[in-house]
Structure 1
Amino acid sequence: QMSSQVSFTSNEGVKIINSIVKKHVSKWKDGLHELQRICIPKILNLEDVFAINATGGGKSVLFGIPVLVQLQISQNVALYPMFDVPICLDPIGVVVMPMKGLVNNIVHVLNFHSLSGLIVSL
């Protein structure tokens, strides 16, 4: 019998996201903030998300953590269940921002967490 596939928005999916964040972003003692806990499972489930929050409210994590989660699952397939959405072997996040200083800061944070970042200025 084939086991059912897991949704990132299910309890099991959320637990997997939280365990990956806890393991790979150890500086976040409290894990994800409320906005992130709501939005990241939906983003990983390929749902559209429109998030508004104050500066410093954790919006940048909304594109970084899904890349981290996809990367960890793709590199450790045997440790995780089958998901009901595709898992990318080489996940990429594309972000368009109007402010160069913010972009530099985000790339620095990504690099700190062993994720690559590239800045293209036009």
Structure 2
Amino acid sequence: MAPSRGRKWQTEEGRAIIKQIVVKKVPQWTGGLRDWQATVIAWILDGEDVLCITATGDGKSALFAVPILVLLEVAKNPAMYPGFGDRVISWRIGPGIGELVAGTHVKPAFGSALVEVD
């Protein structure tokens, strides 16, 4: 799938925002993202398909967790990240989604059904 909104997360500003959000949301992760992780996460946020092959324990889990954290943070505070809050988040998780996205502009989707959250 080609990126439909350009490659804004792959810019220096986009990568800086990713790293800033990780520091804010995961303060116990003192080393932050590795450069290769920030690059791959930017690709994911820009809608690019990614195949990542790396050693066990090298940090692949961050590649699915961090984009969610980034998009939730941007959805909750769009004024802090102008130009980066236009991405729709798709969800495949169960009960509790309402509390998770409360106060955001996130539109959860379960499978092929969109769910309205007040």
What TM-score comes out, normalization by structure 1 length?
0.64
Task: Choose 50-59 or 30-39, whichever is displaced more.
Answer: 30-39
**Structure 1 position 76 matched with structure 2 position 77:** yes
Query: Residues 58-90 of structure 1, C-alpha deviation per residue, up to 9 Å, x if partnerless?
Result: 11110010010000000111111113x8323x5
CA contact (8 A) 1:8 1:41 kept: yes
Partner of residue 87, structure 1: 87
Mark the CA change 1:61 to 1:69 in structure 2 (over 3 Å): closer, same or farther. same
Please tell me the residue identity of whatever aligns with 1:50: L
Taking the aligned partners of 2:38 and 2:7, their CA distance within structure 1 comes to 17
Q: Any residues of structure 2 matched to 1:18-57 within 5 Å, and which?
A: 18-57=19-58
* Residue identity in the other structure for 2:28: K
1:43 CA drift (Å) = 0.3
- For the Cα contact (< 8 Å) 1:67–1:93, is it kept in 2? no
Identity across matched positions, percent: 40
CA contact (8 A) 2:37 2:59 kept: yes
Paired residue secondary structure (2:72): helix
Cα separation, partners in 2 of 1:8 and 1:93, compared to 1, 3 Å? farther
Give the SS at the match of 1:43.
helix
| Counterpart AA for 1:24 | K
Question: Is contact 1:36–1:62 with CA below 8 Å preserved after alignment?
Answer: yes
**C-alpha distance after superposition, 1:2-30 (max 9, x if no partner):** xxx87000000011001000011111111
**Residue 11 to residue 50, structure 1, CA distance change in 2 (3 Å):** same
- The 1:6/1:48 distance shift into structure 2, 3 A limit, reads closer
Alignment partner of 1:8 is 2:26: no
RCO comparison, higher one (Cα < 8 Å, 6+): 1
Aligned-pair CA distance for 1:39: 0.5
**Secondary structure at 2:9 match in 1:** coil
1:41 deviates by 0.4
* Change in 2 beyond 3 A, CA 1:10/1:87: same
Where structure 2 has 5 or more consecutive residues not aligned to the other structure, the ranges are 1-5, 94-99, 101-118
Kindly indicate whether the alpha-carbon contact (under 8 Å) linking 1:67 and 1:91 is maintained by their aligned counterparts in 2.
Answer: no
